Amino acid sequence: MTDHDQRFMRMALDLAQAAADAGEAPIGAVIVDPATGEVVATGANAPIAGHDPTAHAEVVALRRAGAATGNYRLTGLTLYVTLEPCAMCAGAISHARIGRLVYGADDPKGGAVAHGPKLFEQPTCHWRPQVEGGLLATESAALLRGFFRARREQAGRGRVAAGETA
């Protein structure tokens, strides 16, 4: 992986932090044209704010990239995302024909690239991007762990305040 990869993943981490600050799961995505180094689109998790279960960071970025390029096929572009994509996002990545996927933290519970259904390895998958996982995984995982730990603690304080035992 290159210095450019780290720079774009850091951008995705900044987007993930912005999502966390908005109360969303901290996941960010950046789509880049590797030929020019230009950022084509970005996305951050927004299913709560958008009342949209499909508003995962990857899908938000893919939609924006399609609008920016005037094409739903994003062949040759690179998608950086802070967490291993779920089945829905992996399917969208395949349909968009992303050329390269770079993700941060593994997601053994909900991931669908290196875990679970391993979508890109299925014979019915019509497009397989080049995949590289683990870039800035420690930072990505720490952001997620901290976010969900704070939510659990906040929920626990709410139960105690309501007279329940924690």
Specify the pTM.
0.93
Is 139 among the residues known to form the active site? Answer: no
What 143-146 contacts at long range (C-beta under 8 Å, 24+ apart), as own/partner pairs, is 143/13, 143/16, 143/17, 143/20, 143/26, 143/82, 144/25, 144/26, 144/27, 144/82, 144/83, 144/105
Q: Among residues 38, 58, 132, 139, which one is catalytic? A: 58
pLDDT digits (tens, 9 = 90+) for 54-68: 999 999 999 999 999
pLDDT digits (tens, 9 = 90+) for 100-159: 999 999 999 999 999 999 999 999 999 999 999 999 999 999 999 999 999 998 888 766
Q: Is the pLDDT of residue 166 over 90?
A: no
3-state secondary structure of 94: helix
Q: What pLDDT does 48 receive?
A: 97
